[in-house]
Amino acid sequence: MSAYAVSFLTRMLEIYSPSGKEEEISNFLAEEMKSLGLHVRKDDVGNVIGETGKGKPTILLCGHMDTVAGTIPVRVENNQLYGRGAVDAKASLAAMVIASSTFVKEKFPGKVLVVGVVDEEGEGKGIKHLVKSGISPDYAIFGEPSGVENITIGYKGSLWLKITCETQAGHSAAPWLFENAIEKAFEVWRIIQELHMPQEKSESRFYSITSCLTKIKGGELSSKVPSKCDIYVDIRVPPPLKSQQVFDEIGRKIQQYQTANPKVLVRMKVKDLTDPIEVEPKSLLVRALSYAIRKVRSNTPTLIRKTGTGDMNVLGNALKTPVVTYGPGDSSLDHTPNEHINIQEYLDSIQVYREAIIRLVELHKKGK
């Protein structure tokens, strides 16, 4: 099994699959899942869905097939497997597929769904379509790099805004006569940057609101005072806040700014909005994964909360399903030219997924 597992992941890494170009890897995965005995189908957006077993509980293992753009030569060096997607997150998906296939010939008292979604690195159309399709698992594990001995139980939400500031144009030789739209956009940015709410914990990286100015567009090369400037802002929202609450508070602050600056028109547009999520540390799902990690790795797992936003947010909040994120790999290597996975950690994660599923069914049947 170890040789096959390494070969399987290697072949996945050799298929270039940036967001929007997942057809080749989806076809490969579908055929591989079939050869492993899973019942396989593809949905309208290209998600690949494998299934084994029947009855309750239904356990969803979900990873993504796409990667960011760019290639890395696929190779093994010092027990490390290099390639684009090795960490984020083809190793997790490969481990999930193999773990699921081990139940094909067993009388498994439940159903396992293993899904490879598209567009996770893009606009998330794969997971959004999966939610809309009516999927209703009892538990869900998302495959992202938590580290083989860690379980991710929380992600911040995200609020992506496009903010436009408009003013009257004028000659740059007399800038004191006119409001500069770029300068005003920076004033608005400072309002957002300094925003805090009573529900957050400002001393915590996870439980505080953070914001990042990601793009600026404005001005011309001619002798004009800029009359329009667009800024793009990525705001990360902690629980227990909702992203809409933060948006509403920003709207109130900007309305106050406009009142004080009547010559400036400010418009906001939401590009994306996702709520944060945090899982109860003593839930059956966390307990099952913790048991599996202790059994396979002989270490006590660490529960972590991440400042990013993932597919776990979308499905967990939409379906109110118990969810966690788990997978091998060091997430600091995501999207880097040095992306690689430790082969032993990858192999161990297969066993962790399997043992977690077995334990989760036991706990579910006992109702504990």
φ and ψ of 305, to 5 deg: -125, 130
Q: Where are the alpha helices (DSSP H) in the chain?
A: 2-14, 23-35, 91-101, 125-132, 181-193, 243-260, 284-297, 311-319, 343-366
How far lies 262's CA from each of 253, 254, 257, in Å?
14, 12, 9
Task: Give me the catalytic one of 22, 32, 88, 120.
Answer: 120
Closest among 222, 282, 209 to 249, alpha carbons compared: 209
Q: Is 66 designated active site?
A: yes
Helices (H) and strands (E) counted in the chain, each on its own, are 9, 18
Q: Is 230 designated active site?
A: no
Task: Give me the catalytic one of 22, 32, 66, 345.
Answer: 66
Residue 283: strand pairing partners: none
- Spell out where 93-248 has E strands: 111-117, 139-142, 150-155, 157-166, 170-171, 210-218, 224-225, 228-237
Contact 33, 48 (CB under 8 A): yes
Residue 53: strand pairing partners: 111
Closest among 150, 114, 85, 115 to 292, alpha carbons compared: 150
- The residues, any chain, with a CB within 8 Å of residue 342's CB and separated by 6 or more, are 79, 80, 328, 329
**Unique residue bearing structure tokens 């984020």:** 88
Residue 236: strand pairing partners: 158, 210
The catalytic residues are 66, 120
